[in-house]
Chains A and B, each alone.
Chain A
Amino acid sequence: MRHAGLGKRVATIEGLRQGDRLHPIQQAWVDAQAPQCGYCQSGMIMAAVALLRANASPSDADIDAAITNVCRCGTYARIRRAVHAAAANMKKARGEE
């Protein structure tokens, strides 16, 4: 069986932290107090990382289309809020605002 990820770079939640500081997306997750059971949240955060890498200021519809992960605890509203907050903070950090 050939592995689909062979020769590719794989980023996981453990590699997101920048030294002592949380990645802005992780920080937005803390600020929104998004996780509940937390099991799906690593996937949610990585999906948000991929989304914001491709689209620096996603609309609600962009978020709906990009993040289709299941959260059984229903943290969706807070995830949406966290993605928007992270996008704004990252923009600010780049001096775009």
Chain B
Amino acid sequence: MTSSAPRNKRRRVLLIGAGLVGGALAIGAYRFYRERDRLSPPRALRATASETVLTGWIKLSTDGTVTVQVPRQEMGQGVVSTLALIVAEEMDADPALVRFEEAPVDPFYANATILGDAVPFRAEDMSTLAQMNRVTQFKLGEMLGIQTTGGSTSVRDAWHPMRQAGAAARAMLLQAAAARFGVTRDALTVANGVIEHKASGKRATFGELAVEAGKVPIPREVELKDPARFVLLGKPQPRLDIPPKVDGSARFGIDTRIPGMYFAAITQCPVFGGSVAALDAAKAKARKGVLDVFDIPATSTSAAAVVVVAEHYWIARAALAEVSIRWNEGPNAGFDTDAQRERYEQLLGQGDARVYDRAGDVAAAQGGNGKRVTADYFVPYLAHATMEPINCTAVVRSAGSCEVWVGHQAPTLVKWFAARTANLDSSRVTVHTPYLGGGFGRRFEVDVVVQAVMIAKRLTDTLVQLIWSREEDMTHDVYRPMAASRLRAALDADGNVVSWQHRIVSQSCTGSLTARLLPMAASDLMKDKTTSEGAFDLAYALPNRVVEHVLMHEPIPVGYWRSVGHSLNAFFVESFVDECAAAAGKDPVAFRTALLRDAPRHRKVLELVAEKAGWNTPPPAGVGRGVAFAESFHSIVAQVAEVEISNGVLRVRRVVCAVDCGFAVNPDIVVAQMESAIVFGLTAALHGEITVKAGRVEQSNFPSYEMVRLASAPRIEVHIVNSGLEHLGGIGEPGTPPIAPAVCNALFRLTGKRIRSLPIRL
């Protein structure tokens, strides 16, 4: 932390910390109640001579090209295409002329929804406290102005402002056409980027009207299209980012190439929290092409490391291997995940916990003479393992500016942390965000950015691309937390769940992230929703229940991993519901349907997946079928997995998935995201495990951290329910939570054996 950072930046950084722990006490009421302008173009938005700016979201060129500003990062989820399409729909633009452009980093484009979603209250909780928290968090998100892509929020956050922008642009074009033709606006029709006056036969394209439309004031009140008249949305549309991704022209962060640039290889202290004690770089420095060898200190966001900067990356790598380093391993050299697991399992039955949800009277409900079910579950740490190695390119110029190229989920954080590291005002930092070669929550971290700027600051006016090897990534990730969980239920004589108790023991991702971004704001005061999401906010009718969490602090950094708390809590809850169904002697689907008696929308998704999977017809011999269900990020997903065992190896042959995200903006992307999230979750269920011995991560690359591949990928069938725009939900993450329990439940039906610890070992 530099204490010399400009005051306004420190204030903003303080606010992030406050936001991340859920508070907003530092905010003045006058800003709180000011409506956010989401139409007027921000100053940062630049246009060329042939372009007209129509709101902060759209540039229209005289050749008719509509360039939509996309402030979310493309990491495979199709967001650039989806957001561009939303604008095109309201504009009635010609989709063939619609392009997207990375929006500048500006608070105008901030994602407030991601913070609004982060409050630890059940959806139906309309208490004053819950409502205040929601509004405060959302407003905080607006004021912090952080551009982030995550939490499956992009469409929900953009839906209203981008539709409004499209409709406003359309109105401006109509007014320009009316003036040009000398007719009233309501005598005109718009379709496919052309405005026509049918009575006179006059017509003009958007491009021809661009300059005049730019002179029309942006209308504040515009009528949005009736969704029944959508021509683009709700139908499969080709993605805009696919052509460059099949011909090699797509540029990822690691593809950044600027004449004269250097490359840096890095080795970080293998023990979490250690530092460099001494290094001998004489041999490495003598290697041809090596510019410099030095160590960089640990920061709150990054580990201590030794760096070699050279003309080429492989020279840097080879020279790095010749540096002899002595590490000061620090206090965590004895850290061991086996011992950690034992500690966690002990805490399942003793000590205090914080209650996330309580209803009815659990103790009284246990008094009946029905069955009792108890089970303990466990999940290990997991790495993200993005395909594009972690990298960042930076230059700090002696004129007092900094430029950064990095595929990142939060460009605003890149800007702030680059500024802080370079000791510059953030207005002096330019951030370029190319495509991300996978994000999954990993590219929310600023570790590599801080390191790259530290290197660039030392080598002023030299462009340096820092690349972590895959081994560095796997051993210095922010991991999905290890967690232990105990569930206890009492069933009545009819097999109904009358009492439900759930305890989870884990670290907090949000707490860990806050400690990295702003150590002084780190606090256990506020409950992190993500520890218990998917456990305290279930749609199941559980009249007597307690869901509680034991907060742990460990030297292993944890972070958001696709679907965050849901990914582990769905495994606990849905495995246990299956155990309850078995104890009650009931069919797993029928048992869940009964639990969803107050949730018709949820029940419909479950019933659909059962029907499409042929649940009521027996599976082929040697095949087990299992079901699981999870609501996350405002979307509902149910999955049926079919498993078999051949030569002692578990194979998932088929997954049937039903999803209700309210309205599938681009159904083919919804299908693709379900396929993707299922494979991602399946890799974790079958293989994923990060272990730490003597303070060091034991896995280092794909041979020790195996992935599902083509040969082991199941056949996946996806069925979509459109329950209505009022239920708009996210799509990047919700496919992941149900797959692990669906597979384990299928395995139980095949073998009678319960899997209570991941990854699955037969």
A interface residues (Cβ-Cβ under 8 A, vs B): 12-14, 16-17, 22, 26, 29-30, 33-42, 45, 63-65, 67-80
Contact = CB atoms under 8 A, between A and B. Distances in A.
| Most chain B CB within a 10 A radius of its CB, from A12, A29, A71, A72 | A72
Nearest to B255: A39
Contact of A75 (B436, B440, B676): B676
B387 A70 contact: yes
A84 B702 CA distance: 27
Given A14-B247, A37-B76, A77-B675, A72 B680 contact: yes
A38 B241 contact: yes
B452 to A, nearest CB: 19
Interface string B71-98: 0001111100000000000000000000
A37 B435 contact: yes
Interface string B220-253: 0000000000000000001101111111111010
Q: Tell me what chain A mostly uses at the interface: helix, strand, loop, or mixed.
A: loop
A73 B438 contact: yes
Given A65-B711, A72-B707, A74-B713, A39 B387 contact: yes
A97 B710 CA distance: 28
Contact of A78 (B244, B438, B672, B711): B672
B709 A68 contact: yes
Given A37-B388, A37-B438, A39-B437, A30 B715 contact: no
Interface residues of B, number: 45
B679 interface: yes
Contact of A64 (B245, B247, B248, B710): B710
A40 B387 contact: yes
Given A74-B676, A77-B716, A38 B710 contact: no
A42 B713 CA distance: 20
B668 interface: yes
Contacts of A77: 675, 713, 715-716
Contacts of A79: 710
B678 interface: yes
- Rank and list the top 6 A-B pairs by shortest CB-CB distance, nearest first: A74-B679, A39-B437, A36-B76, A37-B76, A38-B245, A64-B711
A74 B247 contact: no
B680 A30 contact: no
A74 B680 contact: yes
B386 interface: yes
A78 B675 contact: yes
Contacts of A73: 76, 387, 438, 676, 679-680
Interface in B39-88: 74-78
| Most chain B CB within a 10 A radius of its CB, from A12, A17, A39, A40 | A39
Given A64-B710, A72-B387, A36 B676 contact: yes
A33 B245 CA distance: 10
A95 B249 CA distance: 32
A45 B243 CA distance: 13
14 contacts: A26-B246, A36-B676, A37-B76, A37-B387, A38-B244, A39-B435, A64-B711, A70-B707, A72-B385, A73-B679, A74-B677, A74-B678, A76-B708, A77-B675
B437 A38 contact: yes
Given A13-B247, A38-B241, A38-B437, 9 more contacts: A14-B249, A22-B247, A35-B241, A35-B245, A40-B387, A41-B246, A70-B709, A77-B713, A77-B716
Contacts of A65: 711
Interface in B710-729: 710-711, 713, 715-716
A33 B238 contact: yes
Nearest to B680: A74
A11 to B, nearest CB: 11
A33 B715 CA distance: 17
B707 to A, nearest CB: 5
Nearest to B237: A33
Contact of A17 (B247, B702, B711): B247
A64 B651 CA distance: 14
Nearest to A44: B710
Given A36-B76, A37-B75, A39-B438, A68 B246 contact: no
Interface in B642-689: 668, 672, 675-680
A4 to B, nearest CB: 14
Contacts of B76: 35-38, 73
